[in-house]
Amino acid sequence: MSLSDDKVGAAQEGRGFGRAGRTLGLVLGPTLAVGLAAVGAPAGLSQDAWLTVCVLSLMLSWWFTEAIPIPATALIPLVAFPLLGVTSETGAAAPYADPILFLFIGGFMIAAAIERWNLHARIALQVASKVGANPTALIGGFILAAGSISLWISNTATALMLTPIALGVIKAMADQGYENPAFSAAMVLGVAYAASIGGMGTPVGSPTNLIAMGFLNARGTELPFGEWMVLGVPIVVILLPVLWFLVTRGLKRASAEDTARGRQVLNKALVELGPMHTAERWVLGVFAFVAAAWMLRTLLIKLPGLYMLSDMGIAVTGVLALFLLPSGDKTQTRLLDWHTAERIPWGIVILFGGGLSMAAAMESTGLSAWLGDALQGLRGLDLLMILAALLFVTLIATELMSNVATLTAMLPIVAALATALDVNPLLLVFPVSIAASLGFMLPIATAANAIAYATGYVELKRMLRVGLTLDLIGIGVILIVNAALAQVVLG
């Protein structure tokens, strides 16, 4: 059994508020933008800054209602800012070629090579077989595999790659006489949620993480790959077992026969994969090289000739290696070809660029500084309470709209708030970016959720129940880990 592209596409296209909501958004966005322009800028805010607010109101309206495809909305700054005189064409377009975007492109192309040679299936099945063969342990194995792979590959790509494998295991178990709707639902939910959780651990694990890094880099603040992991991996380590407990709660204790069935399914799947061939070894080697270089970059740049080495440069080097290295099979193909590489989600790349272009305009027009001044009244409030409020707002928004669009809208406000409170922006930006990867309640919240729901194995009420609990626990874990480690890591 496989998850058809049409079914996944339908689930993802079904985001937002339906045809009526899209129609409302088409009208609401321009109406709101024109209305704000007619009202005029408040005291202390320049005309260019107010026009930026007008454009932002249009984009937020269309992002929220998905009046047109989300990436298409992200193209608005390329037209609006030069026409309104907010910035030049070059100024509006430059963020669409930010190095962070090429880091994302590199990560997705490496994921494409891993999928092309079925390396993800081998990793998932090997991890699952090591954990155990009874149904509960099998779910835990797939959760561990999804969380581990998603540390290095986008959560959406991880869910797309592993869900068909999980569905194959569900079908094989049913063929062996173990057919349990609760097991099926737990398996696909576990993979989807673990992909989102694992993505919190590294900068390349989720598009929202890269957006946060790009936003910070544009302001001269850097959070190195290793330091992100020091903050993010503990969150992953805590939430994955919590996820396993939540999705397996209520499953009947596995019998010896159930365990035997699970072992037989795993053994058969591994046998069908056959021994690891040359292409898999080379792809695994390139992947390991890139991951190690990302983690050790702060040490590598101290070596002669490597002082300019960047995370983007490491990713692109890995991709070039995949295009150059032969697969070792009779066809003499390369590990990665353009036909495979061009199928990465380019829409998210455009969405990144649009968010960064908007952020750059807010900075250059003085809108960010004005927001910071307006928020000065919050200076006396407790930082933990402010952060908790930000996390809940982010969580609610990401349940209803794209997590990438949510974070893009939130970050300028968070940065202005950090300025008003006179705190390191990393202390607010990092936890808010992690919270944008929550959103476990609704199929529309993340692509991974949509993929799980599209399988037909998960009832909405189960997703709501498990998702709400995981969301609330996730907020608590983020607050605790951020408070415990941020001061040490971020200073």
Give the pLDDT of residue 5.
43
Domain of residue 131 covers 99-341
Please report whether residue 129 resides in a domain.
Answer: yes
Q: pLDDT, tens digit, for every residue of 76-103?
A: 999 999 999 999 999 999 989 888 888 8
Cβ-proximal residues to 277 (8 Å cutoff; 6+ apart), any chain: 117, 328, 329
Of 460, 458, 457, 454, nearest in space to 7 by CA: 454
Helix (H/G/I), strand (E/B), else coil: 41 = coil
Please report whether residue 409 resides in a domain.
Answer: no
The answer to whether the CB of 334 falls within 8 A of the CB of 107 is no
- pLDDT band of residue 233 (cuts 50, 70, 90) is very high
Please report whether residue 389 resides in a domain.
Answer: no
* pTM score: 0.80
DSSP state of 76: H
Please report whether residue 18 resides in a domain.
Answer: no
Q: How far is CA 283 from the centre of its chain?
A: 23
Average pLDDT over the chain reads 85
Q: How buried is residue 487: exposed, middle or buried, by Cβ count under 10 Å (0-12/13-18/19+)?
A: exposed
Residue 473 tokens, joined:
């626990």
Please report whether residue 158 resides in a domain.
Answer: yes
Phi, psi values for residue 308, rounded to 5°: -100, 10
- pLDDT band of residue 318 (cuts 50, 70, 90) is very high
Distances (CA, A) of 378 to 246, 262, 368: 37, 56, 16
Distances (CA, A) of 357 to 25, 45, 89, 146, 309: 22, 20, 11, 33, 25
Domain count, the chain: 1
Q: Taking residues 438-442, report their average pLDDT.
A: 88
Give the pLDDT of residue 125.
85
As a whole number of angstroms, the distance between CA 324 and CA 336 comes to 8
Residue 199 has pLDDT above 60, yes or no: yes
Please report whether residue 38 resides in a domain.
Answer: no
Q: pLDDT, tens digit, for every residue of 23-36?
A: 888 999 999 999 99
Of 80, 98, 99, 82, nearest in space to 90 by CA: 82
Distances (CA, A) of 438 to 26, 161, 402: 28, 20, 11
Q: Taking residues 347-368, report their average pLDDT.
A: 84
Give the pLDDT of residue 486.
64
- pLDDT band of residue 19 (cuts 50, 70, 90) is confident
Please report whether residue 29 resides in a domain.
Answer: no
Cβ-proximal residues to 327 (8 Å cutoff; 6+ apart), any chain: 117, 278, 279, 282, 333, 334, 335
Please report whether residue 218 resides in a domain.
Answer: yes
